């Protein structure tokens, strides 16, 4: 009986693609390019944990944005469970934005 090799990297890439469809409502850039996603963990059981932050602790979407991330990631067929953890350590700042996001916002 051969064991199926789980390609967690490929799944990680799928997860990032899905996350890139989620936009901060105040900034016309997706949350991945904004630097709000600190880490994506995928284990062999297809359980996903996402460590993310918000632009500020009082962010107007503090309640809904993590849920949207969780729901969209859970919608990927291979994902068994998804959990989003919010952290403010380190606090988000504009240095975490990708060059693409900075360019989009006229900061480059």
CB 104 within 8 A of CB 57: no
Mean pLDDT score across all residues of the chain: 91
The pTM for the full model equals 0.88
Spell out the domain ranges in the chain.
8-92
Q: Which CATH superfamily hosts domain 8-92?
A: Fe-S cluster assembly (FSCA) (3.30.300.130)
Residue 79's SS3 state is coil
How many CA atoms within 13 Å lie on the side-chain side of 7? 5
| Residue 5 banded pLDDT, cuts 50, 70, 90 | low
By mean pLDDT, which of 6-10, 70-74, 97-101 is the weakest? 6-10
Report pLDDT digits (tens) over 94-105: 999 999 999 989
Q: What are phi and psi of 40, to 5 degrees?
A: -125, 120
């Amino acid at each position: 009986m051969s064991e199926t090799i789980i390609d967690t990297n490929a799944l990680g890439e799928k997860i990032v693609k899905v996350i890139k469809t989620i936009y901060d409502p105040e900034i016309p850039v997706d949350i991945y390019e904004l630097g709000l996603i600190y880490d994506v963990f995928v284990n062999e059981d297809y359980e996903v944990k996402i460590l993310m932050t918000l632009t500020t602790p009082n962010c107007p979407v503090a309640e809904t944005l993590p849920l949207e991330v969780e729901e969209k990631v859970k919608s990927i067929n291979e994902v068994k469970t998804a959990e989003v953890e919010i952290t403010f350590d380190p606090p988000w700042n504009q240095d975490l934005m990708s060059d693409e996001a900075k360019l989009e916002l006229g900061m480059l």
